Amino acid sequence: MKMERSVHLFSTVVVFVLVLLAPEMGVQTQMVAHARICESPSAKFKGICFSKSNCANICQTEGFVSGNCRVFKCICSKDC
């Protein structure tokens, strides 16, 4: 009976420690996963933006990583 009780107590302590550590590990993973993105309207894109690929190509010529059409404007983006 005494052995059962200590195994139960040990299991409870292990679960409690894991519950305390789980949020800490999750926060670290989230902080690493989210990079800050800087956006700017394209300086070279002319007209109304309908084509994501055309916008992205022009943004790359301006030194950005990608581009998207947003409210008919070409918005370029890159990691800050």
Tokens read off for 58:
């022009």
Correct CATH for 36-80 of 3.90.550.10, 3.40.50.1980, 2.60.40.10, 3.30.30.10: 3.30.30.10
pLDDT tens sequence across 59-80: 999 999 999 999 999 999 999 8
Closest CA to 42 of 78, 3, 1: 78
Q: How far apart are CA 44 and CA 60, in angstroms?
A: 11
Q: How far apart are CA 64 and CA 61, in angstroms?
A: 7
Q: Which residues are bridge partners to 70 per DSSP?
A: 73
pLDDT tens sequence across 8-57: 565 665 444 444 444 444 544 444 566 799 999 999 999 999 999 999 99
